Structure 1
């Protein structure tokens, strides 16, 4: 397939990527490529389109192109709730792409950053879900090759979804050939993978072990070495991940021992039987799912509350068109931290998506998109979209304009459904006051 748009930059507004997907904006960017939120114009649903710019040039590489398509077909065969669903794959102008479900929730990286170390049942539940997802992939002949916190998503129900299966092999080989650089995150990369040895399922289990280390301690396995990758590699290949058994007192010793074994430098020393690992984790997951769901609900509720613009105590002071500092409210893409634990989050990216094309003229259209998200139950995305629509309406149309009030109403609906009922009531009261004023001014 081909189109007139350069991969990674997005097509013109009227063009379709791969003759099917209308790219709406960028969700994130990494070493392998760029991810766009998109509309599947054939099926009328939101999707994520990952364009693998690090692997450009497959038009001239028949073997690489066929390998990519084979790996995509293998990924599509994985039928497991803990593995991201692949809808489509192909190559446009020599650059491969994948089309996947849009994830609603937080990454494990974001959760640990916000909360610190997680309770033992939560750690065990997340690890158990990851083990089961990896087992399903391994049975289908697919290695993940890049198990790390930012590739572990957690939805509002407390269920784990693994992302970016198998991409490290394709993008890594070609990128290393072109640039001579290590592709991956050495904080969570198995020593044999760092050395260039062909990884096995044991490498994925090592990644799980380092993620469990982070969840239990709140610390990166090799310290905060985001700039000096060489120091991290040296530690990974030297003393390895510090042992936990005997260091931490609260978690059960058998769980700490499992982490130590998963992080063993020699793949042969890591647990070989998935069933045994599952059984051990299962014993530690009492109420883990419920606790995890409550943690996620609290974080998403707080996100929705923080997104309220303007603050409640300032709402009634707006008489004229207020100024709104977009640079303060929305981080600039170039200002993102080069931190393996903090890739662009879905919520921040969604704000940028809306902001990049938001004008007073299309605020109503964006409002309708947000309402559709609410009706489909995609509350996190709707709340973030409305967090940009509302201030645009306030500054351009005024606090009493019908479009402003309607946008705020749906913002209140999101708040209520995300568990922030008190804030929703405050916002609805503010809407009612402006509605009453409008009625009182009508002849």
Structure 2
């Protein structure tokens, strides 16, 4: 969750042999990609813990006096100065083969952007819980003299227990220091960017509070502040002209929240609400039960991802099995598993990515990854295990066959993941198929021995 641009359970897997960064961090899979670089889940081989490694490829090969290099240095200083449960923790930093990197805590859960895409508008209680988490984080950040500069839904993480974490300080700078944006460059996300930032003005703490207001708008409405257009010019024109449209109070949007969004999103930073205590006064009375509501939303989202991973495996199973028997799964014309029509369409590897993954990972590598996944399950990191197994099982089906013990073991642990994510019906379906395969192997073995 410590990155953006999620590509689905299977697409996130790293291809080929795992790269070792700085002789210490073994890259496992890509978590996301942003303007500054790529974020990977990795294993710290010295301490034996999971971490997120952010490779700042945009800084690669640049001189020390370059603006992008200076941005990297400021990011390190900004993150190192903050210690707060609502702010992602920086563990380490350095340069690997000319590319600067950051090592941060890896967070299991989902980004706010993913949640809203998957669920639509959030209940007011859940929206208030997220907003309060961002408020607490911003207060801590600003107290150290840091301005985040890119508060947006994809930079807000929500863990499985409903904890809210502000992450990706790739655009952060120290308050009061000169801007580090290239001349004429627009750094940030226009939909959630304060008007003064769009015109090249200084980005003080008020710009972060505007980002909070825009995030709250998205959570309450399920809509982007300036619509779904990707036309940066049109977004800037609206932001600088009429600004974000005021919300109308309703059952879904309590009047105090509509007022709060208006005050946070004022175009003039001088008039904008920037007092954390005043923000809390509005949020706290409306967030009863919000943490549980938020945790439930994340759980359902994670469960849907796990079921989608099984669907991807089913596609591979159909292509890999040469045995003339009933298919591993019965698919309807829409490509959905029976009984899960309410879930999103199945997630599968693209043809190109699938060829790369299946061609580069050896059976021994798949077995090693499978053992890693089992370890994740035993540590309670079920979502990450389900993602890893989605690719491992595809490799096993392709290279070892549907009856191989490693393939069957991988599918068994996929079923365990589904069961622990409360997708019990799908877990039972998979276990019954594994059991039939195991029984078939035993029958064939008995016949050979006779």
TM-score range, shorter chain: 0.7 to 0.9
Deviation of 1:331 after TM superposition, in Å, equals 4.2
Q: Does 1:424 align with 2:430?
A: no
* Residues 53 and 102, structure 2, Cα contact 8 Å, conserved in 1: yes
Aligned match for 2:82, one of 78, 100, 106: 78
* Residues 40 and 53, structure 2, Cα contact 8 Å, conserved in 1: yes
Deviation of 1:360 after TM superposition, in Å, equals 3.4
Pair 1:354–1:371, CA change in 2 (3 A): farther
Q: Does 1:396 align with 2:402?
A: no
In structure 1, what is the equivalent of residue 159 of structure 2?
Answer: 155
In structure 2, what is the equivalent of residue 378 of structure 1?
Answer: 381
Pair 1:56–1:333, CA change in 2 (3 A): farther
Pair 1:388–1:70, CA change in 2 (3 A): closer
Aligned match for 2:371, one of 356, 368, 371: 368
Mapping for residues 405-424 of structure 1, pairs under 5 Å: 405-424=408-427
Runs of at least 5 residues in structure 2 that lack an aligned partner in the other structure: 1-13, 329-345
Pair 1:19–1:63, CA change in 2 (3 A): farther
Counterpart secondary structure, 1:320: coil
Mapping for residues 278-293 of structure 1, pairs under 5 Å: 278-293=280-295
Superposition CA RMSD, Å: 3.4
Pair 1:95–1:364, CA change in 2 (3 A): closer
How far apart in 2 are the matches of 1:319 and 1:333?
22
In structure 2, what is the equivalent of residue 176 of structure 1?
Answer: 182
* Residues 33 and 53, structure 1, Cα contact 8 Å, conserved in 2: yes
* Residues 80 and 136, structure 1, Cα contact 8 Å, conserved in 2: yes
Q: Does 1:435 align with 2:441?
A: no
Alpha-carbon deviations, 1:252-284, whole Å to 9, x = none?
111110011101011122223211211210111
Mapping for residues 117-128 of structure 1, pairs under 5 Å: 117-128=121-132
How far apart in 1 are the matches of 2:33 and 2:165?
19
Counterpart secondary structure, 2:182: helix
Pair 1:249–1:67, CA change in 2 (3 A): closer
Deviation of 1:76 after TM superposition, in Å, equals 2.4
* Residues 320 and 398, structure 1, Cα contact 8 Å, conserved in 2: no
How far apart in 1 are the matches of 2:92 and 2:297?
33
Q: Does 1:21 align with 2:25?
A: yes
Alpha-carbon deviations, 1:179-206, whole Å to 9, x = none?
x431211100111111222212111110
Mapping for residues 18-417 of structure 1, pairs under 5 Å: 18-56=22-60, 59-61=63-65, 68-69=72-73, 71-92=75-96, 95-165=99-169, 167-169=171-173, 176-177=182-183, 180-226=184-230, 228-246=231-249, 248-309=250-311, 311=314, 320=323, 329-331=348-350, 357-417=360-420
Pair 1:356–1:116, CA change in 2 (3 A): farther
How far apart in 1 are the matches of 2:91 and 2:229?
36
Count the aligned residue pairs. 410
Pair 1:68–1:181, CA change in 2 (3 A): closer
* Residues 117 and 216, structure 1, Cα contact 8 Å, conserved in 2: yes
Counterpart secondary structure, 2:192: coil
How far apart in 2 are the matches of 1:224 and 1:311?
34
Counterpart secondary structure, 1:308: helix
Pair 1:356–1:378, CA change in 2 (3 A): farther
* Residues 36 and 58, structure 2, Cα contact 8 Å, conserved in 1: yes
Deviation of 1:120 after TM superposition, in Å, equals 0.7
Q: Could you state the TM-score of these two structures normalised by the residue count of structure 2?
A: 0.82
* Residues 125 and 289, structure 1, Cα contact 8 Å, conserved in 2: yes
Deviation of 1:382 after TM superposition, in Å, equals 0.7
Q: Could you state the TM-score of these two structures normalised by the residue count of structure 1?
A: 0.83
